[in-house]
């Protein structure tokens, strides 16, 4: 690759050269609009921070419609090989058909590269319109398990010989009598494993310790799905206690103290742990959690959950801080070092090619990438520029429609404003 060098990993540590080659996927729908703005902003920040000493050497890799049009393949092997080789990549959103057609390319990338943690920080920027009264109290980081759950794609369609075989097996060999309409049911399978849970929860607790966060909440529906979501909760507490020892205090421990010495003793133990700066590892059932993040957001810090819960929680929390236009993310394998950075939102097809939508989600995903590379100076320049630009009420349509006195600008103009406001 012209003038660029490879990022490498040694003993779990990234070695980042001054001119790293970073593959990008432009994405479908609004992808080309937001990527054009984002790449200009990220390049400008790196240039300003390092005065030419460091520079990203972007290399395009294909996926989605562009790949299909050019190669006949939605996700060419070459794309996966290049991301494997260059370690770090960034992508725009990719379309997934509903109710049939090919399976999600976004999910396929995460599974193929075993990017087990989908990390989505949710914070509010001063001036961003929000439907809640105190949006500044929402400051959470979601760790969503990225390789298991119903996203494994083990599904059998109603009326097929395959689903008949599965239902026959369940009824005849497993004694299942509760499939309400067996003749017309589709069946989906939800695998949740000990290894998958523990590596995700381990990463979440490690993050909480490194970043000085106060608590980690395991979100599950374990009362109903006992051996999948309930097991996630139990394994989560196990990894916390077995691997993080006195750095954490868990609600499993709290319950043991209640049983032995009563509730006052357990409350005392928890407040002593808090005073000592230990991470409180607690859990919440998913339905009430969705209410509590709205009513008591300050009580939650790092959130560790399974794939589907994490998908829902990501968009719900994004709404609290201004919406999906400003919701970044990273898909990371903390063991191999591989990572793909991407916005939380999708391809928003009705806005494709209009130069209209908010590029902040992919720009902030780029900020996460710069931080991951250790290029904090450039990351901070982008964050400061976003704060300054929003404070001056120069925003895209999504914020303008909710703000008094805003100047609505196009995607590309918002990118220009960020570059102008970098200091």
Ligand X SMILES: NC(=O)C1=CN([C@@H]2O[C@H](COP(=O)(O)OP(=O)(O)OC[C@H]3O[C@@H](n4cnc5c(N)ncnc54)[C@H](OP(=O)(O)O)[C@@H]3O)[C@@H](O)[C@H]2O)C=CC1
For the CB of residue 75, give the shortest distance to ligand AKG in the complex, in Å: 12
CA distance 324 to 262: 44
Give backbone dihedrals phi and psi of 281, rounded to 5 degrees, phi first: -105, 115
Please provide the size of the chain in residues.
423
Alpha helices in 212-337 (DSSP H): 229-244, 251-261, 263-275, 286-295, 307-320
Please identify every residue annotated as catalytic. Answer: 151, 221, 287, 311
Annotated binding site for D-threo-isocitrate: 104, 106, 110, 120, 144
Looking at 56-64, 102-110, 164-172, 187-195, which segment touches ligand AKG (CB under 6 A)?
A: 102-110
For the chain, the first-to-last Cα distance in angstroms comes to 31
Using CB under 6 A as the binding rule, whether residue 96 contacts ligand X is answered as yes
Residue 26 binding: pick among ligand X, ligand AKG, Mg ion, none (C-beta 5-8 Å cut-off by kind): none
Interface with Mg ion (CB under 5 A), residue from 229, 253, 311, 398? 311
For the CB of residue 313, give the shortest distance to Mg ion in the complex, in Å: 10
State the angle between helix axes of 77-86 and 105-112 in degrees (0 to 180), rounded to the nearest 10. 50
Pick 104 or 130: Cβ nearer ligand AKG: 104
Interface with ligand AKG (CB under 6 A), residue from 215, 344, 358, 361? 344
Contact indicator for 139, 125 with CB cutoff of 8 Å: no
Annotated binding site for Mg(2+): 311
For the CB of residue 107, give the shortest distance to ligand AKG in the complex, in Å: 5
For the CB of residue 322, give the shortest distance to ligand AKG in the complex, in Å: 17
Residue 342 binding: pick among Mg ion, ligand X, ligand AKG, none (C-beta 5-8 Å cut-off by kind): ligand X
Burial class (CB in 10 A: 0-12, 13-18, 19+), 396: buried
Interface with ligand AKG (CB under 6 A), residue from 96, 130, 171, 380? 96
Interface with ligand X (CB under 6 A), residue from 41, 87, 324, 418? 324
Nearest CA-CA partner of 67 in 114, 25, 97:
25
Give backbone dihedrals phi and psi of 405, rounded to 5 degrees, phi first: 70, 25
Q: Is 225 helix (H, G, I), strand (E, B) or coil?
A: coil
Give backbone dihedrals phi and psi of 394, rounded to 5 degrees, phi first: -95, 110
> How many Å separate Cα 146 from the centre of its chain?
9
Dihedral angle, C-alpha 241, 246, 248, 252, nearest 10 °: 40
Contact indicator for 302, 216 with CB cutoff of 8 Å: yes
For the CB of residue 175, give the shortest distance to ligand X in the complex, in Å: 37
Nearest CA-CA partner of 123 in 416, 373, 364:
364
For the CB of residue 347, give the shortest distance to ligand X in the complex, in Å: 4
Looking at 99-107, 134-142, 374-382, 399-407, which segment touches ligand AKG (CB under 6 A)?
A: 99-107
Nearest CA-CA partner of 22 in 81, 84, 77, 90:
90
Annotated binding site for NADP(+): 95, 345-351, 358, 397, 401
Looking at 119-127, 269-277, 296-304, 356-364, which segment touches ligand X (CB under 6 A)?
A: 356-364
Nearest CA-CA partner of 297 in 126, 407, 119, 134:
134
Pick 20 or 93: Cβ nearer ligand X: 93
**For residue 20, what are the β-bridge partners?**
5
Using CB under 6 A as the binding rule, whether residue 361 contacts ligand AKG is answered as no
Interface with ligand X (CB under 6 A), residue from 20, 93, 135, 415? 93
CA distance 356 to 399: 12
Pick 106 or 411: Cβ nearer ligand AKG: 106
For the CB of residue 356, give the shortest distance to ligand X in the complex, in Å: 8
Interface with ligand X (CB under 6 A), residue from 106, 197, 314, 320? 106
CA distance 52 to 292: 47
Interface with ligand AKG (CB under 6 A), residue from 217, 314, 358, 411? 314
Dihedral class, residue 262 (left if φ above 0, else alpha if ψ from -120 to 50, else beta): left
Pick 143 or 251: Cβ nearer ligand AKG: 143
Looking at 124-132, 175-183, 257-265, 308-316, which segment touches Mg ion (CB under 5 A)?
A: 308-316
Query: Kindly report the CA angle at 279 between 276 and 283, in degrees rounded to 5?
Result: 135
Q: Give the residue at shortest CB distance from ligand X.
A: 346
Using CB under 5 A as the binding rule, whether residue 342 contacts Mg ion is answered as no
What part of residues 104-163 is at the interface with ligand AKG (CB under 6 A)?
Answer: 104, 106-107
Q: Where are the beta strands (DSSP E) in 309-398?
A: 330-332, 339-342, 394-395
Binding site for Mg ion (CB under 5 A): 311
Which positions touch ligand AKG (CB under 6 A)? 96, 104, 106-107, 311, 314, 344, 346
Residues within the interface to ligand X (CB under 6 A): 30, 34, 93-96, 106, 324-325, 342, 345-348, 357-358, 361, 398
């Amino acid at each position: 690759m012209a003038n660029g060098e490879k990022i490498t990993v040694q003993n779990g540590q990234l070695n980042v050269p001054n001119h790293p080659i970073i593959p990008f996927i432009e994405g479908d729908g609004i992808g080309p609009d937001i990527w054009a703005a984002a790449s200009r902003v990220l390049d400008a920040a790196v240039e300003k921070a390092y005065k030419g000493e460091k520079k990203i050497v972007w290399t395009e890799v294909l996926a989605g419609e562009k790949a299909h049009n050019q190669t006949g393949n939605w996700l060419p092997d070459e794309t996966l090989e290049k991301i494997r080789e260059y370690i770090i990549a960034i992508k725009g959103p990719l379309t997934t058909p509903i109710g049939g057609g090919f399976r999600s390319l976004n999910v396929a990338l995460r599974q193929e590269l075993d990017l087990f943690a989908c990390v989505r920080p949710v914070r509010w920027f001063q001036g961003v319109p929000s439907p809640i009264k105190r949006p500044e109290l929402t400051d959470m980081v979601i760790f969503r398990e990225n390789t298991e759950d119903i996203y494994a794609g083990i599904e059998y369609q109603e009326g097929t010989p395959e689903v008949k075989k599965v239902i026959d097996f369940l009824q005849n060999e497993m004694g299942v009598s509760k499939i309400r309409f067996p003749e017309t049911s589709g069946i989906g399978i939800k695998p949740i494993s000990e290894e998958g849970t523990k590596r995700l929860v381990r990463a979440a607790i490690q993050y909480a310790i490194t970043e000085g966060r106060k608590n980690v909440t395991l979100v599950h529906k374990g009362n109903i799905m006992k051996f999948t979501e309930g097991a996630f909760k139990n394994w989560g507490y196990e990894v916390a206690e077995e691997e993080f020892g006195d750095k954490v205090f868990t609600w499993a421990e709290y319950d043991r103290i209640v049983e032995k010495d009563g509730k006052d003793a357990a409350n005392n133990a928890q407040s002593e742990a808090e005073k000592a700066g230990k991470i409180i590892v607690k859990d919440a059932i998913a339905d009430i959690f969705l209410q509590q993040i709205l009513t008591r957001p300050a009580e939650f810090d790092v959130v560790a959950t399974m794939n589907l819960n994490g998908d829902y929680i990501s968009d719900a929390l994004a709404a609290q801080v201004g919406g999906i236009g400003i919701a970044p993310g990273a898909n990371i394998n903390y063991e191999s070092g591989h990572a793909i950075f991407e916005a939380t939102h999708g391809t928003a097809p009705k806005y494709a090619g209009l130069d209209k939508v908010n590029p902040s989600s992919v720009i902030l995903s780029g900020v996460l990438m710069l931080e991951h590379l250790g290029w904090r100076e450039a990351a901070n320049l982008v964050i400061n520029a976003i704060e300054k630009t929003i404070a001056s009420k120069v925003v895209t349509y999504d914020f303008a429609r909710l703000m008094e006195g805003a100047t609505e600008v196009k995607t590309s103009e918002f990118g220009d404003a960020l570059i102008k406001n970098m200091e």
